[in-house]
Structure 1
Amino acid sequence: MSKMSIEIVSDVMCPWCIIGYKNLEKALQQLPDIEADISWHAFELNPQMPPEGQDLVEHVIEKYGSTKEQSVENRKMIAQRGLDSGFQFNFSDDSKIINSFNCHRLLTWAKEHGKQTELKLALFSAHFTEGKQLNDDAQLLAVAVSIGLDEARARQILDSDEYAAEVRAEQNRMHQMGIQSVPTFIINKKYGISGGQPSEAFIDALTQINAEAQGASAQA
């Protein structure tokens, strides 16, 4: 059994981040000789987003210069890619992009309790599948509690600036490493895979990386 470190730089607001993760998950299921240690790094796609968020279609039109029709077609394509990966997107006219900073603060805390991946996946489902408003503390707390995190402690964090400095430092470190887009998968602190790749691409990359690691180990 080979151990592999996989650090995922992502934002809960990014649909390609959950697509990429689900395809990575599929790849690892087909690579039983690789044991992956997965962790997540904070990255805000829209750090200047106001607390109330912004209508999804309006945001896409403003940020990418798309037309409303192009935005609709893009959502259909993403929804299909989601289904292919095993994730359900339920976009609607009420879908919003929100400021994800508090999500990242809770994720940093959850890592201390071994629940970072569990919370990350719950947040993706809450936002994209269930249409929860994660800029609402009550709804964000409900997600944290649903995976067994302590409600009183989570509320205490949200009511303070705890973990804010850690999140900002982590984001700065990602930028200093040259990461400008998500998802980015950092393998064994050496190799990078960008984007919501299909499972086949992950299988090929991880197999090659593992072979190189095994070869280097044999020569040592």
Structure 2
Amino acid sequence: MTDAIKIDVWSDIACPWCYIGKRNLETGLAAASGDEDAPVVEVTYHSYELSPDTPVDFEGGEYDYLAQHKGITPDQARQMLERVTGVAAEAGLQYRFDLLQHTNTVKAHELLHFAKEKGRQLELAERLMSAYFTEGRHLGRIEELAALAADAGLDSAEAEEALRSGRYLDAVRADQAQATSYGITGVPFFVIDGRYGVSGAQPAEAFTQITRQVWAERHADADADAVA
């Protein structure tokens, strides 16, 4: 039995390209899952804060955030959001920047580590990104995060206690330190089997191809070991 391919994903729930990358990864893996010898894959999400200095209650909308954070004009911000909305639609995602509530994401990252410990990280990552980009939910508030945790199959009271205690903050910082050691400066960033780095929201076909490639390499290595 060949061990599962490990895909480690650095992302931020407030990164529009990360949600697109997540969906494309899932679509690509689904395509490979139909192979006669389908790759076995294990996906883990890691913390990366794009804007750690953002206040929990940011004053203004996404246009205001882009203008302030990137130093661009409102018209440039509009063009950026229209572009990413179009790309998201191609991935099957309906972004609602008119509803989006920009916020600090550190507590959302802490919650993802809590969910990982409970075996529900993938479900929570999907729930958080959907809530943020398509529903206008406020992901900087502990009560809101606890409610979303329940949607992902977690105990809301336990999730709220974990967030208020701050006991997963060290895990968030460890992920960020590892990103620095890898030289990651933007997300999404995918580390495939600890050997290949893939940056950006690649098309689904790219994930299908690299997964098949790594799976074939795994079998070749296993065959070589058997001969030796």
* TM-score, normalization by structure 2: 0.90
- Post-superposition offset of 1:31: 0.5
Structure 1 match to 2:167: 162
**How far apart, in 2, do the equivalents of 1:64 and 1:197 lie?**
23
2:145 is paired with a residue of what secondary structure? Answer: helix
Matched residues in 1 for 2:120 and 2:220: separation?
33
- Give the RMSD, CA atoms, in angstroms: 1.6
Once the two structures are superposed, the pairs formed by residues 1-150 of structure 1 within 5 Å of their partners are 3-32=4-33, 33-54=38-59, 55-92=61-98, 95-150=100-155
1:120 positional shift: 0.7
| 1:57-87 residue CA offsets vs partner (Å, 9 max, x unmatched) | 1221223232211211221221121121122
What is the number of equivalent residue pairs in this alignment? Answer: 219
What is the percentage of aligned positions where both structures have the same residue? 35
How far apart, CA to CA, are the structure 2 residues paired with 1:71 and 1:205?
34
> 2:192 is matched with which residue?
187
Q: Distance in 2 between matches of 1:210 and 1:62?
A: 44
Q: Give the SS at the match of 1:34.
A: coil
Q: CA deviation at 1:208?
A: 2.4
Task: Describe the SS at the equivalent of 1:97.
Answer: coil
Q: Distance in 2 between matches of 1:100 and 1:115?
A: 19
Residue 108 of structure 1 and its aligned partner are, at CA, apart by 0.4
Is the CA contact 1:50–1:98 (under 8 Å) kept in the aligned structure 2? yes
Structure 2 counterpart SS, 1:6? strand
* 2:221 maps to 1:219: no
Cα offset, 1:17, TM superposition: 0.6
* 8 A Cα contact 1:20 1:195, kept in partner: yes
Deviation at 1:216, TM superposition (A): 2.4
Look up the equivalent residue of 1:104 and give its one-letter code.
H
Q: Can you list the C-alpha shifts for 1:96-148, whole angstroms capped at 9, x where unaligned?
A: 32110000111101111110010011000110000001112222221111122
Could you tell me how far apart the structure 1 residues matched to 2:209 and 2:74 are?
Answer: 37
Q: Which amino acid aligns with 2:92?
A: G
For residues 141-191 of structure 1, give each alpha carbon's deviation from its aligned partner in whole angstroms, at most 9, with x where no partner exists: 211111221121112122222111121122112112211111011111111
| Structure 2: gaps (5+ residues) | none
Secondary structure at the counterpart of residue 215 of structure 2: helix
State the AA in 2 paired with 1:64.
K
Give the secondary structure class of the aligned counterpart of 1:156.
helix
CA distance in 1, matches of 2:27, 2:72: 32
Instruction: Give unmatched runs, 5+ long, in structure 1.
Output: none
Give the structure-1-normalised TM-score: 0.93
Cα shift at 1:18? 0.9
Do the aligned residues in 1 keep the contact of 2:146 with 2:157 (CA within 8 Å)?
A: no
